[in-house]
Amino acid sequence: MNAQRTPKKKTPKAERDHVLHLLKNMIRIRRLEEACAELYSAMKIRGFLHLYDGQEAVAVGVMEALTAEDAVVATYREHGHALIRGISAGSILAEMFGKQEGCSRGRGGSMHLFDAKTRFYGGNAIVGGGLPIAVGLALADQMQQRPRVTGCFFGEGAVAEGEFHESMNLASLWKLPVLFVCENNLYAMGTALKLSESVTDLVRKASSYDVAAASVDGMDVLAVEAAAQKAAAAVRSGKGPHFLECRTYRFRAHSMFDPELYRDKAEVEDWKKRCPIEAFSKTLKTEGLLTDKDRQKIEGEAAKEIKEAVAFAEACTWEPVEDLTRFVTSERRSE
């Protein structure tokens, strides 16, 4: 798990290990998602599958600001968050295979990754539904005087939901320790932000609830990390909730069954030029922090991790059908 760090300077020559660690985490996510796409086409993974390609800098940067004690609430596009939070690629893939060794025993699938050990509260597939949960987790921390932060990820589509507004208000009203991370990738499925919001400046919306709010380039992992560190430190010190908009873009379709009729190919290509992995690599090379050999080593390790994870998931087992009705109510109550 990531130790809490103080914010870093933009030219972190002394931080070579750290920047390589960030780069590697983004590459790990990318390779995991590529494997998912392939396994979906091969029918190993079913249901809805939402991939994170392009947005890696957000999960990687924000997770640096959270400690093991903190909680994470995520959405249905959460493979990357789960992986960086510390859930193994093997148990993530096993979950998507529907195997009982999966992190949710195969009961959740791609959209519902859960893990008690890392306080990872899903995998919530109702847009906006996770926000009140994060508010409640923070309320419990506040009432029990625990200096924890609840990191709550959601897309800009959730901003149109009533639960966004109810949660902003509650968190601000009660000064709750929530770090709201809005991943603005410009499209709620296929509807552009400008076609669904009268006010497209999301920071203004959060500010209207007196929630401290900022916007950051979500394609720049160092910028995300710095902003998240600052926000998390404020939240942890009892200053109430923070809202961080990360402007980002998803490179792939919304889900596997999406012909992408709603956006221009050119737009996608433009954003791809700002790929958080390649752009960061380039900067690091220029600054002499990354060599081709470093990159090869990272790629090799990531490929090995994912390859082993796929093999693990393949070897996992199916839960017996007799167990179908388990986990509807708790077993320690029902005798």
Partner 1 sequence: MGEFRMPSLGADMESGTLLEWRVKPGDRVKRRDIIAVVDTDKAAIEVEVYEDGVVEELLVKPGEKVPVGTVMAIIRSDADQPREAETKAVGAEQATTEAAPPRAQKKEPPAPPPESPAERVKASPYARRLAAEHGIDLKTLVPSGPHESICAADVKQAVEAAKAAGPEEPPPVAAPPRAEEAPAAAAPAPEEVSGWKDPEAMRRAIAKAMARSKREIPHYYLQTRVDMRRTLGWLESENRRRSIKDRLLPVVPLLKAVAMSLQEVPELNGYWIDDRHQPQEAINIGIAISLRQGGLIAPAILDADLLGVDELMAALRDLITRTRDGRLKSAEMTAATITVTNLGDLGVESVFGVIYPPQVALVGIGKTMEQPWAENGLLGVRPVMTASLSGDHRATDGLQGARFLDTLNRRLQEPSKL
Partner 2 sequence: MSPSSPETMRRLTYRDAVREALAEAMRKDERVFLMGEDVGRYGGCFAASKRLLEEFGPERIRDTPLSESGFVGAGIGAALGGMRPIVEIMTVNFSLLAADQIMNTAATYLHMSGGQFNVPLVIRMATGGGRQLAAQHSHCLDGWYAHIPGIRVVSPATHEDARGMLWTALQDPDPVLIFEHSGLYNLEGELAADAGPVDIDRAKLCRPGRDISIISYSASLIKALEAAEILSAEGIEAEVIDLRSLRPLDEATFLSSVSRTHRALIVDEGWRSGSISAEISARIMEGVFFDLDAPVERLCSAEVPMPYAKHMEAAALPQVDNIVELIRIMVKTHG
Helix/strand number for the chain, H first, E second: 12, 8
Contact map string, positions 35 to 74, toward partner 1, x by CB under 8 A: --xx-xxxx--xxx--------------------------
* 74 alpha-carbon distance from chain centroid: 6
* Partner in contact with 210, chosen from partner 2, partner 1, none, beta carbon below 5 to 8 Å by kind: none
Minimum distance from residue 126 beta carbon to partner 2 (Å): 5
- In the block, tokens 């770090």 appear at 179
Minimum distance from residue 96 beta carbon to partner 1 (Å): 13
Encoded tokens for 104: 């949710």
Q: Which of 257, 266, 320, 333 binds partner 1 (CB under 8 A)?
A: 257
Among residue numbers 169 through 198, which ones bind partner 1 (CB under 8 A)?
A: none
Confirm or reject binding of residue 72 to partner 2 (CB under 8 A). Answer: no
Minimum distance from residue 27 beta carbon to partner 1 (Å): 15
The runs of H, that is alpha helices, within 182-275 are 193-196, 202-207, 221-236, 265-272
* Partner in contact with 330, chosen from partner 1, partner 2, none, beta carbon below 5 to 8 Å by kind: partner 2
* Partner in contact with 137, chosen from partner 1, partner 2, none, beta carbon below 5 to 8 Å by kind: partner 2
Neighbours of 52 (CB within 10 A): 25
Minimum distance from residue 281 beta carbon to partner 1 (Å): 18
Encoded tokens for 127: 């847009």
Do 53 and 27 contact (CB within 8 A), yes or no? no
Do 117 and 88 contact (CB within 8 A), yes or no? no
The runs of H, that is alpha helices, within the chain are 16-41, 56-63, 79-85, 89-97, 130-143, 162-173, 193-196, 202-207, 221-236, 265-272, 276-286, 292-315
With CB under 8 A as the contact rule, which of the stretches 43-51, 185-193, 293-301, 323-331 interacts with partner 2? 323-331
Among residue numbers 131 through 160, which ones bind partner 2 (CB under 8 A)?
A: 131-141, 143-144, 150
Site for partner 2, rule CB under 8 A: 71, 102-108, 112, 114-116, 121-124, 126, 129, 131-141, 143-144, 150, 162-163, 166-167, 169-170, 173, 326-333
